[in-house]
Structure 1
Amino acid sequence: MRALTLVADRQLELADVPPPPAPGPGEVQVRIKAVGLNHLDLWGFRGMAFAKRKMPLVVGAEAAGEIAATGAGVTALKAGDPVVMYGALTCGTCRACREGRDNLCEAVGGIMGFHVDGFARDLVNMPARLVVPVPAGITMRDAACAPIAFGTVQHMLFDNARLQPDETVLVHAGGSGIGTVAIKMAKAIGCTVITTVGSDEKAEKAKALGADHVINYRKDRFETITRKLTNKKGVDVVFEHVGGEGFNGSLLVLKRGGRLVTCGSTAGPTVQINLMQLFQQQYRIFGSFGCTIRNIRESLAKMADGMLPVIDTEVPLAEFERGLARLEGRQVFGKVIVTF
């Protein structure tokens, strides 16, 4: 079968490899149909792994497919069922896993496509407990955005930031995969959405998506515009995944008692915070990573109700690297999908 492998930093190879064995007890075998690209894939491609890993490594952290075979004891899934897979090998037995807090697993075996072999291959065996059925009517292309793009936003906005109807939220990088989802999810519950983008073209697309106010951060300071838009009161929530120099600006535009939730640092992982500002304004800062399996189910339910991802580009498996280049060049508005 085909497998897209990282053989060295920034060096991918589409290889012929032996197929996996028949699924064991409690396992399923999935035929991959679509892979969603994320900045996590870029970090792995650049060699930015935060743990030791062995190469060659099959890439791909987010995917959808169909059940090809089931192992003994698996009754909830059958051949032909459309599914998505959780993107980390959680233990399933620690307290966090038992409580449904999968992304806080105390003995995680690694992130797929980053620490351990990922989904960019024709067939993969997975524990059935890490596989989620896809409701009828959702395409494989769209479903492939549920485990990370939709699930991450669901966890950030609703589990962590506790976003409420009629609140005002600032969504950074509104043209990114998760930024477009955040705009949609916030608007769906009646929030006022302010978003930042890097070009006038993206600004028009963000407005069409439903954003109430769009700031081209290459032309204007988002801090100034956001404070004007809120009559200097600030926003209730900042959806942050950029980091770098803009992080303190994000704190500046929060109202007293406001919440900032962050899951990324594409502009830089190190910031300095004024602690007096933090405690005097009673800000709440949430770090958020990945999502739970429940979040994936919630995301698929939203897709089934008509909230679909914004797809920027589709590329075949052999052109995976072209998709990464588009993501790395910040050209995207929405998600890049790799099709099989």
Structure 2
Amino acid sequence: MRALQLVDDRRLEAVDLPPPPPPAHGEVTLRIKAVALNHIDVWGWRGMAFAKRKMPLVIGAEASGEVDAVGPSVAGLVPGQLVSIYGARTCGLCRACREKRDNLCENVSGVHGFHLDGFAQEKINIPARLLVPAPPGVDGIGAAVVPVTFGTVEHMLFDNARLEPGETILVHAGGSGIGTAAIQLAKRIGCTVITTVGSNDKVEKAKALGADHVINYREDRFEGVVRKLTRKKGVDVVFEHVGADTFAGSMLCLRRGGRLVTCGSTSGVSTEINLMQLFQQQLKLLGSFGCRMENMADALQKMAAGQVKPVIDTEVGFEDIGRALQRMEGRDVFGKIVLRMV
């Protein structure tokens, strides 16, 4: 069984592993269809783990699969069915899990591809409760980019920031995977979308997704452009995931009572906050991590209806995984890089 293992920092190897045993009670054996790469894969590749991990470690935190076999007591899933896979191994028993607040599980044992073996392997056994069936009209690539990419954005924009039709939003890094999803989901409900990109070749691509205004942050200070575009009022929501490099400017972009929602810190985990600005302007700073499985289901339905689409930069095979991670580290992508397993 083919798999991609991280054997040391910055060293990946294609290996042969034994296939999983027959699925146990409540489990499903999946044949992995596609793995979508994320910055969490880059962090793992760099050796930036949040918890102790044992190597070799199979990579891949976001994926789709086809049901190959079902274990005892599994209902609602049949062989051949396409599913999206929830990437965190939650307990399913705590209060948060019972209330379908999956990303607040009190006893989560880790994230696949980061703390636990990930999905870049031909077959894997997974608890059936962590699978979300893909509706007709969604293919393996679409289902692969839902668990982290579209699910994360659904949770950020609608559960946390409470984005409303007609509001104005600043989406940072509009060429990233979650940036392309945020542009589409915000535009779908009638928002004015301002986004930042890091090169001129990404400007028209972002506009094609629905962005009303695109700022090349390497050429212009985004906060100045945003203040001008909004006639100094500022935006209702900032979709933040860059971190230290943009955080102070993001706060300056908010209108009075505005909301900043963040899920990432790719440019650094620490920053300073102007507390006077925070309380005088009555700003709201919201942290967001992962998503609920219900967010995945919502995103899949919108994808099936043609309301949003996965934006794919490149599809790669096992032999190109190192180059793909280097491109992601250099932010030389627009949309997602996907590893095809079949």
Quickly name the TM-score band, shorter chain normalised.
over 0.9
Aligned to 2:321: 320
CA deviation digits over 1:55-100, x for unaligned, max 9? 1111000000100000000121011000111001000001111111
Aligned to 1:287: 287
Aligned to 1:99: 99
Over the matched positions of the two proteins, sequence identity in percent amounts to 67
In 2: Cα distance, 1:28 partner to 1:322 partner: 32
In 1: Cα distance, 2:140 partner to 2:176 partner: 20
In 2: Cα distance, 1:21 partner to 1:58 partner: 17
**Letter in structure 1 aligned against 2:273:** I
Q: Secondary structure at the match of 1:6?
A: strand
Q: How does 1:161-310 map to 2 (within 5 A)?
A: 161-306=161-306, 307-310=308-311
CA deviation digits over 1:17-68, x for unaligned, max 9? 1001000010000000100000011111111001011111110000001000
Query: Shift in Å at residue 207 of structure 1?
Result: 1.1
CA deviation digits over 1:109-163, x for unaligned, max 9? 1000000000000000000000110111211011100000000000000000000
**Letter in structure 2 aligned against 1:65:** G
Aligned to 2:159: 159
TM-score between the two structures when normalised by the length of structure 1 = 0.99
CA deviation digits over 1:236-257, x for unaligned, max 9? 0000000113101100010000
In 1: Cα distance, 2:290 partner to 2:185 partner: 17
Q: Return 5+ residue gaps in structure 1 as ranges.
A: none
Aligned to 2:339: 338
Aligned to 2:138: 138
Q: Secondary structure at the match of 1:156?
A: helix
In 2: Cα distance, 1:84 partner to 1:238 partner: 28
Q: Return 5+ residue gaps in structure 2 as ranges.
A: none
Q: Secondary structure at the match of 1:323?
A: helix
In 2: Cα distance, 1:47 partner to 1:252 partner: 34
Aligned to 2:73: 73
Q: Secondary structure at the match of 2:289?
A: coil
**Letter in structure 2 aligned against 1:308:** K
**Letter in structure 2 aligned against 1:320:** I
Aligned to 1:147: 147
Detail structure 1 runs of 4+ shifted over 2 Å in the superposition: none
**Letter in structure 2 aligned against 1:107:** N
**Letter in structure 1 aligned against 2:20:** P
Q: Secondary structure at the match of 1:300?
A: helix
In 1: Cα distance, 2:105 partner to 2:66 partner: 26
Once superposed, what is the RMSD of the aligned Cα atoms?
Answer: 0.7
**Letter in structure 1 aligned against 2:315:** E
TM-score between the two structures when normalised by the length of structure 2 = 0.98
Q: Secondary structure at the match of 2:23?
A: coil
In 1: Cα distance, 2:216 partner to 2:148 partner: 26
